[in-house]
Amino acid sequence: MTLPFAGVFRSLRNFNYRVWAAGAFVSNIGTWVQRTAQDWLVLTQLTHHSAAAVGVVMALQFGPQLLLLPWTGFAADHFNQRKLLIATQAAMGALALALGLLTVAGAVQLWHVYIFAFLFGSAAAFDAPVRQTFVTALVGDEDLHNAVALNSTSFSAARMIGPAVSGLVIAAIGTGWAFLINGASFVAVLISLAFLRGSELHPNARAHRARGSFTEGLRYVWGRPDLKVILVMLFLIGTFGLNFPIFISTMAVRVFHSDARGYGLLSSFMATGTVAGALFAAGRRKARFRSLLLGSGLFGIGCTLAALAPNYWLFAGSLAIIGVATLTFTSTTNSLMQLSTEPAMRGRVMALRVGIALGGTPIGAPIVGWIADHFGPRWALAVGAAAGVAAALVALFPALSRASKAEPTREGSLP
């Protein structure tokens, strides 16, 4: 007899994936504890409610995804992925502990946060593409889409817990302890990497070391119309839409006059939507192009509703809709790009994906922060809504309509 939801959680039959998922979940909770605390520290303690300063922090934290792009994809395709993950996770844990100690000691200043954001972002730039492609080594191609969706479920479930925990920690013992909690959480993922069964890993094809590897990756993507379409959509939503630290913090503080606990709860509401979207994605056998259209369109609608929300609870409900849309969109881009890319090119393609999705933050976050400061948080959300609508229009372009009727193949593209 088939158990309910057995297909949704099928990747958990794999020992290595179970171990990895357990460690990653603990670390993801810590990540959201720190993200919430960092935004709150900048917005309410180091500045006088400056959304622009939050935007600068975001730009410094995500800018390295684009700045280091020639090296991050190369590392993911050429180096031992397990050892590289150990190095990046350990580095991020050490940085979180250092920032926590500085904050607990009462010595933290805004420029300290800027420096740590850039260093953390640099480590994360090397971590993201290898962590995404490492999933294939854990489960193989057959269950890749399911594993990607379950990873998103874990990240989203942690987003439900982390911000709420962060709000309680900040209110009870102070912001610095939230950073220390995140630093300690990285121990879990390091332990999980140590306990993986090497004999059960699915080895990814490694690229040959040669000069021009980065440009080879660019040429590969340039010759794939389907990948270019996805990257354009990612740029629009990633640059102008995925600025939730600005959207949520400014709406919470300026419009609804919430405290740290109320702010953390809003992030958790958004996470309920992403969990729902992740479980829906995990239940599908394959990723489909039309999900990109659905996700981007729903993102635009959700941001519009959030911008117009007259009270705290309707705003929270709108965030849940945005969460479903964001997860549907990002998870589908991840699966489509990995499954339609040659194994030896996956690291560089995924690095480009992350670089486009997050590397546009140095452009979008300061702009959105400036709009929030000068015109109000609701107008900042309107920018996110416009980004979702623009991405949906890209997907509706005639050539892309034909692409949505076909599945991706290893060699070809979405026609």
Distance from C-alpha of 35 to C-alpha of 13, rounded to nearest angstrom: 32
In 89-170, the DSSP E strands lie at none
**N- to C-terminal Cα distance for the chain?**
39
Contacts of 398 by beta carbon, 8 Å cutoff, 6+ apart: none
Average of pLDDT values for 36-42?
A: 90
User: Cα 352 to chain center, whole Å?
Assistant: 14
pTM for the full model?
Answer: 0.74
**Closest C-alpha among 351, 331, 334 to residue 64:** 351
Report residue 412's pLDDT band, with 50, 70 and 90 as the boundaries. Answer: very low
Check pLDDT > 80 for residue 344: no
Residue type for position 62 = F
What is the pLDDT at residue 285? 64
What SS3 class is residue 173?
A: coil
What is the pLDDT at residue 7? 65
- Cα→Cα distances 280→152, 154, 323, 325, 373, Å: 11, 13, 13, 11, 37
What is the pLDDT at residue 377? 93
8 A C-beta contact, residue 301 and residue 392: no
User: What ranges in 173-242 are assigned the alpha helix state H?
Assistant: 175-194, 213-222, 225-240
Distance from C-alpha of 57 to C-alpha of 79, rounded to nearest angstrom: 30
* Per-residue model confidence as pLDDT tens digits over 241-281: 988 888 988 899 889 988 878 887 887 788 788 778 777 77
Among residues of the chain, what percentage have pLDDT more than 70? 89
What is the pLDDT at residue 23? 93
In 108-212, the DSSP E strands lie at none
Distance from C-alpha of 116 to C-alpha of 273, rounded to nearest angstrom: 30
Please state the φ and ψ torsions of residue 67, each to the nearest 5 degrees.
-60, -40
What is the pLDDT at residue 371? 94
Instruction: With both helix axes pointing from N to C terminus, report the angle between 346-359 and 361-375 in degrees, rounded to the nearest 10.
Output: 20
* Per-residue model confidence as pLDDT tens digits over 133-166: 888 888 877 777 788 778 877 877 787 788 888 8
Domains, the chain, in order of start with CATH, read: 11-403 (1.20.1250.20)
Q: Select, from the ranges 134-143, 354-363, 376-385, the one with the highest average predicted confidence (pLDDT).
A: 376-385
What is the pLDDT at residue 1? 39
Average of pLDDT values for 84-95?
A: 95
Check pLDDT > 80 for residue 179: yes
What is the pLDDT at residue 153? 78
Q: Which structure tokens are listed for 189?
A: 């993922």
